[in-house]
């Protein structure tokens, strides 16, 4: 049974980008998010679904405090993230990690797998307290956890397939001991068969480590497979939210019906 305790709370968050001056005058403001409210409970997989330009990326950047919302509040385990000091924010980032969409672009080709996976341990050395040998042992343990092995530590990203690279990205995200993983379309750049392997890995990791997932995607089939609850975002606004069964079996909004109707294996 899922824990109903909110881990991540997003309350009335808006983000407005000012217009830019150009040759033909000033462009209009861009309302990337408009009073978005969501709650992600401890131990669940929450899916945020939307097309390109719907506000998914701005939402992600706001959660990570890479963008400051124009208004509204984002809380992690009850803490208002906007009011944290730089040191407190640094400590918090160990508990919130992200897996990016493109495993080819998100790994430094000049770094070995060992250095890639141990880098977060170095950044958060003060809280983790691992020496050099312990960091190497932990990296080997994480690689085994994601289906690779210690023999891969001294290799470089170009020696791996796309699916293997995404496993390395997941191992890196786990290195600081996070509680919340933001998964930014982590399977969309992979072949279908490899997508299934990575999704099953995410299931296993959540079960073993008690992780909470905030899963961002435009692929409803993947979201239905992985997520307990789903919200649909369009033009910066949440148009529908509910359990996966509610959204897929009884969609209420025209937007949800349109997206689900485009899935060949689903009939509304």
**Is residue 165 situated within a structural domain?**
yes
Average pLDDT over all residues of the chain: 90
Last residue of a domain, one of 177, 203, 221: 177
Residue 82 pLDDT exceeds 60 = yes
191 and 261 assigned to the same domain: yes
Average pLDDT rounded to a whole number, residues 50-61? 89
CA-to-CA distance for 247 and 231, rounded, in angstroms?
Answer: 9
The separation between the first and the last C-alpha atoms of the chain, rounded to the nearest angstrom, is: 29
**Is residue 252 situated within a structural domain?**
yes
Domain residues for 219? 1-85+179-268
Residue 1 pLDDT exceeds 70 = no
CA-to-CA distance for 179 and 47, rounded, in angstroms?
Answer: 17
160 and 210 assigned to the same domain: no
**Is residue 105 situated within a structural domain?**
no
Structural domain total, the chain: 2
143 and 223 assigned to the same domain: no
Contact of 37 with 242, CB cutoff 8 Å: no
Q: What is the CATH number of the domain that holds 263?
A: 3.40.50.300
**Is residue 18 situated within a structural domain?**
yes
**Is residue 43 situated within a structural domain?**
yes
**Is residue 99 situated within a structural domain?**
no
Long-range interactions of 83-90: CB distance < 8 A, separation 24+? 89/65, 90/124
Percent of the chain at pLDDT > 70 equals: 94
For residue 33, give the nearest of 51, 58, 11, 8 by alpha carbon: 58
| Number of other CB atoms surrounding residue 203 within 10 Å | 14
**Is residue 94 situated within a structural domain?**
no
The pTM of the whole model exceeds 0.75: yes
Contact of 45 with 58, CB cutoff 8 Å: no
**Is residue 188 situated within a structural domain?**
yes
If one compares 26 and 247, the residue with the highest pLDDT of the two is 247
Residue 21's Cβ-count burial label (10 Å; 0-12, 13-18, 19+) is: exposed
pLDDT per residue as tens digits for the range 134-152: 999 999 999 999 999 999 9
């Amino acid at each position: 049974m899922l824990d109903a305790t909110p881990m991540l709370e997003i309350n009335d968050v808006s983000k407005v980008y000012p217009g830019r001056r150009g040759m033909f005058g000033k462009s209009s403001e861009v309302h990337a998010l408009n009073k978005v409210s969501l709650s992600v409970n401890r131990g669940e997989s929450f899916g945020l679904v939307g097309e390109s330009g719907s506000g998914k990326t701005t939402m992600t950047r706001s959660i990570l405090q890479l963008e400051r919302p124009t208004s509204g509040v984002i809380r992690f385990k009850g803490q208002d993230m906007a009011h944290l000091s730089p040191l407190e924010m640094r400590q918090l980032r160990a508990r919130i990690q992200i897996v990016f969409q493109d495993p080819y672009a998100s790994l430094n080709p000049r770094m070995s797998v060992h250095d890639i996976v141990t880098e977060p341990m170095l950044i958060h050395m003060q809280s983790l307290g691992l020496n050099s040998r312990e960091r190497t042992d932990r990296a080997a343990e994480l690689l085994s956890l994601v289906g690779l092995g210690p023999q891969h530590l001294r290799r470089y990203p170009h020696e791996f397939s796309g699916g293997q690279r995404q496993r390395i990205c997941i191992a890196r995200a786990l290195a600081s001991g996070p509680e919340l993983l933001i998964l930014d379309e982590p399977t969309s750049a992979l072949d279908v068969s490899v997508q299934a392997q990575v999704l099953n890995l995410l299931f296993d990791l959540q079960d073993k480590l008690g992780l909470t997932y905030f899963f961002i995607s435009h692929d409803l089939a993947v979201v239905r497979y992985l997520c307990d609850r789903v919200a649909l975002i369009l033009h910066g606004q949440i148009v529908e939210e509910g359990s996966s069964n509610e959204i897929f079996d009884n969609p209420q909004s025209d937007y949800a019906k349109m997206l689900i109707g485009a899935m060949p294996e689903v009939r509304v």
